[in-house]
């Protein structure tokens, strides 16, 4: 029970000029202050997954990372009121690896802070037997929320991150024990 929870942080944007690393790096600094998580990053910009959903060595390695994880956080932007296509490919590339595991969201964008993308993602993750964590971290007008060092003074986001990580840890611990006691019937 004391083994740290294996957390994979998935960075969705693959645009060359993306803002994603600023948000992701801030979140990683936040989560690494929580010793209950053993955290790693799957940056989709450096994890080429075929949109045709064909199999190769990279998809097998990717699925292995997912299989070993107890919890996930997606760092996502919003494009045209939806989430990035790279993220849909990332979900569709695996199946059983996601099941009976929790997922939380850190979103950013313009006025809506990426929240429309997150609400769509809740539908997708329900279909692949995941539990989505209620608390969300969201940055609206994201580029104005971070200083030159990549830090933020957005108190609402800082508080939300703490609440979200507590909820994620509870789900991850609970579901890890449940999967071990009785394999998920999915």
Contacts (CB under 6 A) with ligand FMN, residues 16-35:
18-20
Q: Rounded CA gap, 19 and 107, in Å?
A: 12
Binding pattern for the stretch 90-109 against ligand FMN, x by CB under 6 A and - elsewhere? -------------------x
| Two tokens, residue 66 | 């997912």
Q: Does 111 bind ligand FMN (CB under 6 A)?
A: yes
74 beta partners: 10, 105
CB of 160 to ligand FMN, least distance (A): 17
Judged by CB under 6 A, the stretch of 31-39, 78-86, 153-161, 165-173 that binds ligand FMN is: 78-86
Burial of 2 (0-12, 13-18, 19+ CB in 10 A): exposed
Judged by CB under 6 A, the stretch of 55-63, 74-82, 86-94, 161-169 that binds ligand FMN is: 74-82
Beta carbon nearer to ligand FMN, 59 or 86: 86
Own/partner contacts of 95-98, CB < 8 Å, gap of 24 or more, are: 95/128, 96/186, 97/63, 97/66, 97/67, 97/69, 98/66, 98/72, 98/125, 98/128, 98/129, 98/130
Q: Does 64 bind ligand FMN (CB under 6 A)?
A: no
Q: Does 80 bind ligand FMN (CB under 6 A)?
A: yes
Task: Work out which of 25, 34, 41, 112 binds ligand FMN, going by CB under 6 A.
Answer: 112
Q: Which residues bind ligand FMN (CB under 6 A)?
A: 13, 15, 18-20, 77-81, 109-112
């Amino acid at each position: 029970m004391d083994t740290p929870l294996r957390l994979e942080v998935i960075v969705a944007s693959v645009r060359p000029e993306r803002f994603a690393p600023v948000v992701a790096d801030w979140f990683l600094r936040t989560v690494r202050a929580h010793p209950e998580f053993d955290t790693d990053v799957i940056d989709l910009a450096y994890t080429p997954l075929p949109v045709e959903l064909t199999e190769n060595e990279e998809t097998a390695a990717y699925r292995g990372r997912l299989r070993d994880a107890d919890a996930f956080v997606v760092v996502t932007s919003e494009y045209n009121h939806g989430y990035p296509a790279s993220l849909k490919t990332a979900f569709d590339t695996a199946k059983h690896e996601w099941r009976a595991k929790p997922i939380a969201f850190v979103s950013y964008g313009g006025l809506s802070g990426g929240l429309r993308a997150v609400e769509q993602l809740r539908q997708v993750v329900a279909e692949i037997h995941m539990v989505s964590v209620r608390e969300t971290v969201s940055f609206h007008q994201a580029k104005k929320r971070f200083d030159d060092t990549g830090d933020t003074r957005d108190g609402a986001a800082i508080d939300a991150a703490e609440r979200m990580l507590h909820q994620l840890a509870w789900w991850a611990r609970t579901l890890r024990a449940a999967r071990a006691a009785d394999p998920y019937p999915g």
